[in-house]
Amino acid sequence: MAKTSAVEKNKRRRKTVANQAAKRAELKATIMNQALSIETGSRQL
């Protein structure tokens, strides 16, 4: 059985992931866009 603190920590991690999902998707799209140069992509970050 997992300790309560570990369970709570996992809950916080899941919440953080959910909150940052949109930002992560946007950054990932910028990285994967081959039409942008490296300099242009780094300025968008």
Q: What pLDDT does 23 receive? A: 94
Half-sphere exposure of 3 (CA within 13 A, CB side): 3
Q: What pLDDT does 11 receive? A: 97
What are the residue ranges spanned by the domains of the chain?
21-45
Q: What pLDDT does 3 receive? A: 95
Q: What is the pLDDT along the chain (45 residues), one digit of tens a residue?
A: 889 999 999 999 999 999 999 999 998 888 888 777 666 655 655
Q: What pLDDT does 44 receive? A: 55
pTM recorded for the entire structure = 0.57
- How does DSSP assign 1-45, residue by residue? ---HHHHHHHHHHHHHHHHHHHHHHHHHHHHH-TTS-HHHHHHH-
